Chain A
């Protein structure tokens, strides 16, 4: 830990406090995005590039866009215009302090096994047929956890969809924006596919790729481009496709590899890439579904 890390930690704490104590929802959302970007930087300093990418793309990017959207809708709603004062920041602050205390206590009780776990993973990496340890853990050693995680995500999206979605006017056509988005979106899609592909050998993977893909589709949506493709993404089938693919491949492992969620020898790389590609499409569609889009 050097001066830069200490400064980063202090700024993160200050931003967190400022975010909780922000006067308006919009200011709080903007501070939250800044917090997410600096948190990604902190993950880079800790050597966890995969987490940093996910934090920047999902924590700051998608979550930030969601919060800003919600803040804007709240400001325009009757409840938002009638409330003269912002709610007291004390209850959330105290709750967060309590959570921080619990986390600190939990941290202090954990036995230091990180070194052993790292050794175990690198020893087993050879047999997993996957070059990147993070991908090997997520989709080979602990595939069960990832499978459940995807199911949880789907349930969360279902719950979010139970809330009535706001009806918005279709975006106004802007030639300058359309021109830029017209070649920005293909580049973003290319980056998403690259992240997915890179996941097998270095930093990258389905979640990061999905966040970038969802960002690209949102960009297209907000500029009013490719409405037909956008409608295709809102189909429920796209959201469940990843989980179904994962389950089918996992179950067929019982016959081809002798274990559920096992992969037959020599096929691991291809099957994992296939599952991740399906997951990327579904996670992107799920993130999009959270925006609850409905055109007027």
Chain B
């Protein structure tokens, strides 16, 4: 019962961050700002959703898989964000 309530709370938090990320994507002025909103807020939201699911996981292995998925999503979105950002910067930054 307590765990269910905790999961619900975490899911609500996840939704708040996803909404913030989406509003950022729609409202922020340029591409770099939008990447910032997407990669930060959405990953945090995904983290909260993963936490909510881990609490409900049936086994340690299932919980581990959810953590692995979250980590993979983090790396993928960080890399994708970096690649999009590189396209926006016209010249190579000084070393």
Instruction: Give residues in A with beta carbon < 8 Å to B.
Output: 174, 176-177, 180, 184, 187
Contacts and interface: CB of A to CB of B under 8 A. Distances in A.
Contacts of A180: 75-76, 79
Interface string B37-52: 0000000000000000
For the complex, would chain B's binding face be called helix, strand, loop or mixed by DSSP majority? helix
A176 B84 CA distance: 13
B18 to A, nearest CB: 15
Contacts of B72: 184, 187
Contacts of A177: 79, 82-83
Nearest to A187: B72
A184 B82 contact: no
Interface in B78-95: 79, 82-83, 86
Contacts of A176: 79, 82
A180 B86 CA distance: 16
A176 B86 CA distance: 11
How large, as a class, is the contact surface on chain B?
A: under 10
A187 B76 CA distance: 12
A184 B75 contact: yes
A45 to B, nearest CB: 18
Given A176-B79, A184-B75, A184-B76, 9 more contacts: A174-B86, A176-B82, A177-B79, A177-B82, A177-B83, A180-B75, A180-B76, A180-B79, A184-B72
Interface in B40-79: 72, 75-76, 79
Contacts of A184: 72, 75-76
A184 B75 CA distance: 9
A177 B72 CA distance: 14
14 contacts: A174-B83, A174-B86, A176-B79, A176-B82, A177-B79, A177-B82, A177-B83, A180-B75, A180-B76, A180-B79, A184-B72, A184-B75, A184-B76, A187-B72
A177 B83 CA distance: 8
Interface string B15-43: 00000000000000000000000000000
Contacts of B76: 180, 184
Contacts of B79: 176-177, 180
A230 B51 CA distance: 39
Contacts of A187: 72
Contacts of B86: 174
Nearest to A179: B79
Nearest to B75: A180
A174 B83 CA distance: 9
Contacts of B83: 174, 177
A98 B75 CA distance: 44
A130 to B, nearest CB: 25
Contacts of B82: 176-177
Nearest to A191: B72
Q: Which 7 A-B pairs have the closest CB atoms?
A: A180-B79, A176-B82, A180-B75, A177-B79, A177-B83, A176-B79, A187-B72
B95 to A, nearest CB: 12
A187 B75 CA distance: 13
A187 B72 CA distance: 10
Nearest to A172: B86
B90 to A, nearest CB: 15
A15 to B, nearest CB: 15
A184 B79 CA distance: 11
A182 to B, nearest CB: 11
